[in-house]
A and B are shown apart, each in its own frame.
Chain A
Amino acid sequence: MTTTDSSATPQTPKGKRRIGDVVFANTASGSGILILAILAGVAAFLIIQSVDSLGANTANFFTTTGWDANTREAPAFGVAALAFGTVLAAAIALLIATPIAVGIALFIAYYAPRKLASVLGYIVDLLAAIPSVVYGLWGIGYLVHQLTPFYQWLSTSFGWIPLFAGPVSSTGRTMMSAGIVLAVMILPIITAISRDVFLQVPQAHREAALSLGATRWEMIRMAVLPFGRAGIIGGAMLGLGRALGETMAVAMILSPALVISPHLLQSGNQTIAAHIALQYPEATGYGVSALIAAGLVLFAITLVVNMGARYIVARRKEFTE
């Protein structure tokens, strides 16, 4: 049966092209190409639109802190203060959120009774569903007032550290407040990803640690955290990405000033995203183009952060299966 025709027409075996396969393959590669096209399109837009103002800028864009762009004559603006504020706010948020998120994730994965764990996981996920404008309202309407006495104490006790130097802003609308609100906002994503990774630690590794006489905490240190490291970093970087780009909450909370100030408890500093949001409605002259240039810087920072994260995650590849 199988040999009847094959001798007459020797053919290389050829797969039949099924219509479903063709459609699926094209849809999938089309989607993949679309992502690249969107990314390239955004980058091209930012570059083309910003060239205009950057060419006319009379100040050094990267070292100037001021923003005198809403004019047709000799604009002078720079992104230095904005970039500094952006990174600072995100760094505060990350420093506060990561340890807490890892703690919550460990508690959910290894300490909480099963029922409590699922409820808790659900609540953390709900935090992610709160719109950022609501966080902003909460921050400015409630949190800053609660934090001001704490800032006073911090400044009195640790004022000799420049970060906490006074005079403390009486409104509480400071970099520290913005950082704390951002920390709450990025907590869910870091927690969720860390928890998922912790739950994936193979039973074999956990039992290996326990069989050596490890306590639960030692088991976590030996088997869970090293295994989950890449996941924690990945989650933190996603959180960092969100914190860098977060606009509404920062715009509402921070009392902006275009300065480079390390004093977290005084008013001042500003982030790129919030600056764009606040300035855009009244931008004239080279204003819009200048804001787009600032957006390009934010884009670049985020790109570098993500690539850095990938590098860190990949560096330890040899040691993960």
Chain B
Amino acid sequence: MAKRIDVSGLHVYYGDFKAVEDVSMTIEPRAVTAFIGSSGCGKSTFLRALNRMHEVAPNARVEGKVMLDDQDIYAPDVDPVAVRREIGMVFQRPNPFPTMSIYDNVIAGAKLNNQRLGRTEADDIVERSLHGANLWEEVKDRLSKPGAGLSGGQQQRLCIARAIAVEPAVLLMDEPCSALDPISTLAIEDLIAKLKENYTICIVTHNMQQAARVSDQTAFFNLAGTGKPGRLIEMDETNKIFTKPDKKETENYITGRFG
């Protein structure tokens, strides 16, 4: 299930603009890897390049290599649609489909893979995914109600349930708690700790305490300067990054003495 991601020499461009420069890293399976860094440092772009979501923007392209176990996700014969079925994503703002019920939201992705999904099979997937997202107890009596009627934190867990219903190998989370209150944030963090038993998880966060709490590995990104591309400064065990980082830049950032 969980797979390792191996990135080597990855550059990401939007048209002529180079957003991310020369990133190489290994993202371990069954672990949480946090990407930290100031706004605009390319960490979200890098995250989106891992499942080719950045291609939604016109003229986006990459150089370099991203391997999912032994499969090159940028190989010419690889369909980005297939990549995204392997590598799911959770976004900054909870985005359940507004016209769908809770049930339909969860099953939406699974239906794409299997058009002739039986009713009992679908019920199983919905229950399993909602359990997996720690949401089942809260919504089991109102599965046919609109997903948009849930609270923000519940919506975000609904989105996680929707993502894991497809049974991906990797879950990418782009600041999943930044629109949530502290209680909901705690619920998501607990969930991340549980999910890492089965998935490879990458999380972008602005909250350094969160990175310290949930992640095993931390990668620090920074800009070389205004208008310059973002670069990976340092990546290591989370403990080490937050106690004795190798680079001065990292230390400045995590201690709040930035720049």
Contact = CB atoms under 8 A, between A and B. Distances in A.
A252 B210 CA distance: 73
Interface stretch (A79-87, A134-142, A219-227, A267-275): A219-227
Given A204-B93, A223-B97, A210 B53 contact: yes
Given A207-B53, A210-B53, A213-B166, A320 B82 contact: no
B254 to A, nearest CB: 30
Contacts of B162: 208, 212
B132 interface: no
A16 interface: no
A222 B108 contact: yes
B85 interface: yes
B148 A321 contact: yes
A211 B99 contact: no
Contact of B97 (A114, A205, A211): A205
B98 A213 contact: no
B84 interface: yes
A214 B91 contact: no
A58 interface: no
Given A204-B95, A213-B81, A321-B98, A218 B112 contact: yes
Interface in B38-96: 51, 53, 56, 58, 81-82, 84-85, 88-89, 91, 93, 95-96
Interface string A283-320: 00000000000000000000000000000000010111
Interface in B96-124: 96-100, 108-109, 112-113
Contacts, number: 77
Contact of B84 (A211, A226, A316, A319): A211
B12 interface: no
Interface residues of A, number: 26
A213 B108 CA distance: 10
A206 B100 CA distance: 14
B100 A213 contact: no
Which residue of B82, B88, B109, B162 has the most chain A CB atoms within 10 A of its CB atom?
B109
Contacts of B97: 205, 208-209, 222-223, 226
Contacts of A208: 91, 95-97, 159, 162
Contact of B88 (A209, A212, A222, A316): A212
A146 interface: no
Contact of A227 (B88, B99, B109): B99
A215 interface: yes
A229 interface: yes
B148 A211 contact: no
A212 B85 contact: yes
B245 interface: no
B169 interface: no
27 contacts: A203-B56, A205-B98, A206-B56, A207-B56, A207-B91, A207-B95, A208-B91, A208-B95, A208-B97, A208-B159, A210-B53, A211-B84, A211-B89, A211-B163, A212-B84, A212-B108, A213-B109, A213-B166, A214-B109, A222-B97, A226-B97, A226-B98, A226-B100, A227-B98, A318-B146, A319-B146, A320-B99
